[in-house]
Amino acid sequence: MAKALPSGRPVRRPLFGALDPDGWTWAGIKAMFWFIVLILALGYIPDRAYYFTVNKTIDIGVLAWSPINLCPAENRGLPCPAPAGAMVPWEAAPTQLTLPEPRTAGAAAQLVTHLLYAGGSGGAAPTTSVFVSEFKDGAFGPWANGPALPEGRAEAGIVVLSGVAYLVGGVGPDGQQPTNTVWSLKADAAGALTTWAPVEGVTLPAARAGAGVVALSDGILVVGGRGPDGKPTTTVWKSTLDPDGVLGAFAEQPALVNAVAETGIALNGDYVWVFGGTDATGASKAVQRGHVGVPQAAEASPSPGASAAPAPQGVLQWAVSDGANLPEARSAAATFAANGTLYVVGGSDGLRPRREMYWAVPDAVGNLTGGWHYLDKIDLPGGIQGGSSVVSGSYAYVIGGSTDSGPSTNAVRANLAPQPPFFQLGIAGLTVPALAIPGEIGQNLGYLAAAGVGTGNFVILCAVAWMYSNKPKVRAWWERRRASRRGRRAAST
């Protein structure tokens, strides 16, 4: 005999009848769903509300690959989004940074709030002049005459270490013979520049000009350069600061693989990079990489009672690889490292000044796995060799140098931080413009936005919970509303 079905609403099986409505599988799916809803409502969405207030853009979801990208006009035609390491195209620096006189082969650096351009040549002999620009109200001011060098220098290296600028080597007043001098300059307690003076008891072991000079965390590294015979060298020297900040004598380091002068140099992480330069045959495209660290013998634990002063760093070894070489030969290029990226700007190919810029992003172990990158949009406005580079904040500057017409007064700059896309539409996400309210006001408004959204979501979740726990009441209320709407429609007809 057939069994009568129970009265009331039929029990529906979820997921097209695949699951038991009272089983553990369906219960687990519902629990996971509400777990994700709680995280989104009380965590992710309030977090997005905060960043929508303070950021220029906000990401919703996981973008992964985005086929639709829109970038701001400030990127000046860069691909969107900008490739890793790319910068906004070079432009003329503010007019106040045009040098008072043409200069090439000078040395530029930022010392506290002072931008220095020391020495160089105007086409005749090396000069003693030092131009100084002050950084104030977020910008550099006009050049003024600063403390003069003790005698003329060009092709010298300059570094800033522990608040002191050091000018190393270079050709002397005759414009021919390299020198072994090391001069220093610092600012006094009021921030005013003092005078250049020889570092007591410290000179290069031999005269050098056109050497690569870079500051390590504990001293100065001098790489290659031309000796008194005019030939490129492989010598590498290191001077270390003592615990009192006094520069010590230069000591020999492992030699370069290839002898070069007029080379570019940059420090990135634990590696010092030497780019191109002039070798025995002319302009070179070879890149030499030095691993910087503490020699193993010095890493050994000190004996009882010995000083605990840290062991000095040095070059552990040099390496070369055809895969790391520049796309073209370059000497006297402006080079620098910023944001984990290496840049080689301008220089000479042995025939004339060039305008191309190449960049590479090394990995953690110093390999250029992606090679050198190039975009014609980021080329210099014109060819420059012998320009000096400075990185200040988010900008890179190339000051002075020689063009096809000779020494120049020009200065160019580029923004190292292209803007990200203000709109992206991806497979699993979206980027949209946000409010970008700056400063403390933006922070406080962001906290209020996050708190407001979180509180609103909490109230909504409480209402949903009440509805689930009172299903008969909610169903009866819904049926009454449906009946009321049907009645109004029948009355209107």
Tell me the pLDDT tens digit for each residue of 114-125.
999 999 999 889
Check pLDDT > 90 for residue 4: no
C-alpha angle 152-145-381 in degrees, rounded to nearest 5: 85
User: Which pLDDT band holds residue 34 (cuts at 50, 70, 90)?
Assistant: very high
How much is the average pLDDT of 179-201? Answer: 95
Question: Which position has the token pair 């030699």?
Answer: 255
How much is the average pLDDT of 288-317? Answer: 77
Percent of the chain with pLDDT over 90: 80
Tell me the pLDDT tens digit for each residue of 68-104.
999 999 999 999 999 999 999 999 998 889 999 999 9
- The tokens for 327 are 């796309």
Cα(208)–Cα(171) distance, integer angstroms: 8
C-alpha angle 15-38-59 in degrees, rounded to nearest 5: 100
Q: What pLDDT does 310 receive?
A: 78
Check pLDDT > 80 for residue 389: yes
Q: What pLDDT does 308 receive?
A: 59
How much is the average pLDDT of 463-484? Answer: 90
How many Cα atoms are found within 13 Å in the side-chain-facing hemisphere of 234? 11
Q: What pLDDT does 275 receive?
A: 98
Which range has the worst mean pLDDT, 99-113, 260-274, 465-479?
A: 465-479
More confident residue, 311 or 422: 422
User: Which pLDDT band holds residue 192 (cuts at 50, 70, 90)?
Assistant: very high
Q: What pLDDT does 266 receive?
A: 98
Cα(20)–Cα(168) distance, integer angstroms: 82
Q: For residue 409, what are the CA distances in angstroms to 122, 151, 357, 386, 388? A: 10, 22, 20, 12, 12
Question: Which position has the token pair 């160089």?
Answer: 120
Please tell me the pTM assigned to this model.
0.85
Cα(391)–Cα(393) distance, integer angstroms: 7
Check pLDDT > 90 for residue 9: no
Which range has the worst mean pLDDT, 104-113, 230-239, 298-307, 312-321?
A: 298-307
The burial class, CB within 10 Å (0-12 / 13-18 / 19+), for 17 is exposed
Q: What pLDDT does 77 receive?
A: 93
| Average pLDDT across the chain, whole number | 92
Radius of gyration of the chain (CA): 33
Q: Which long-range contacts link 292-297 to residues 24+ away (Cβ below 8 Å)?
A: 292/216, 292/267, 292/316
Check pLDDT > 80 for residue 305: no
Which range has the worst mean pLDDT, 56-70, 149-163, 261-275, 288-302?
A: 288-302
Tell me the pLDDT tens digit for each residue of 241-252.
999 889 999 999
Cα(246)–Cα(269) distance, integer angstroms: 24
Cα(190)–Cα(479) distance, integer angstroms: 81
Q: For residue 432, what are the CA distances in angstroms to 3, 49, 52, 355? A: 60, 13, 9, 36
How much is the average pLDDT of 414-429? Answer: 93
Q: What pLDDT does 303 receive?
A: 54
Check pLDDT > 60 for residue 307: no
How much is the average pLDDT of 297-304? Answer: 57
Give me the sign of the Cα torsion angle 251, 255, 259, 260.
negative
Nearest CA-CA partner of 196 in 153, 142, 250, 246: 153
DSSP secondary structure code for residue 211 in this structure = -
DSSP secondary structure code for residue 191 in this structure = S
Q: Can you say whether residue 217 is alpha, beta or left, with left for phi > 0 and alpha for psi between -120 and 50 degrees?
A: alpha
